[in-house]
Amino acid sequence: MEIQERPITSTPLVTLTESAAAKIKQLMAEEPEGEASVLRVAIQGGGCSGFQYGLGFDRGSQEGDLELELHGVQIVVDPFSAPYLKGSEIDWVDSIQAAGFAINNPNATASCGCGHSFQVEEGAEAEGHTGGCGSGCSH
């Protein structure tokens, strides 16, 4: 019997486009020294679809954080957020219509029209939210 080795492929926690990395590095350079060592990516309850994304700078990782480096950017994700973000891509979009970070999340089963909040299959709807895009969206 011959045993064939198969490469283990796993979905990355998050990926970062080169344009997003360049913008993040630019923004980090504008922060006071030591205040922006890592990019923290998180999800939080709220928004008009149940969850919303949080991107922000932090001084470093905290206990339990998952850490990775992409295009020279140190990224940390808390253990609660990690399953909801697995496989997501962070991009920087700069067009006539809008400029900002966009997160392409394969775990989202529904999202708000503004793109800032989303639902996942497990968590269906957050308390108090009907899933429609209302006052939780800001343009």
What mean pLDDT is predicted for residues 25-30?
95
Q: Is residue 75 in a domain?
A: yes
Residue 3 has pLDDT above 50, yes or no: yes
Q: Is residue 128 in a domain?
A: no
Q: Is residue 100 in a domain?
A: yes
pTM: 0.71
CATH code (residue 70): 2.60.300.12
Cα dihedral: 114, 120, 121, 127 (round 10): -90
Q: Given this model, what pLDDT does residue 123 score?
A: 45
Give CA–CA dist 110/130, Å, rounded: 12
Please calculate the CA angle 123-116-87 and round it to the nearest 5 degrees.
65
pLDDT digits (tens, 9 = 90+) for 68-87: 999 999 999 999 999 999 99
DSSP-derived pairing of the beta strands 66-70 and 99-104: unpaired
**Cα distances (Å, whole numbers) of residue 114 to 33, 62, 67, 98, 110:** 33, 31, 29, 11, 12
Q: Is residue 69 in a domain?
A: yes
Q: Is residue 134 in a domain?
A: no
Q: Is residue 56 in a domain?
A: yes
DSSP-derived pairing of the beta strands 14-16 and 73-77: unpaired
Contact 126, 118 (CB under 8 A): no
DSSP-derived pairing of the beta strands 66-70 and 73-77: antiparallel
Number of domains in the chain: 1
Domain that holds residue 47: 14-120
pLDDT digits (tens, 9 = 90+) for 95-133: 888 889 989 988 887 665 555 545 556 543 333 333 333
Q: Is residue 51 in a domain?
A: yes
Query: Where do we find the tokens 């999202």?
Result: 111
Q: Is residue 99 in a domain?
A: yes
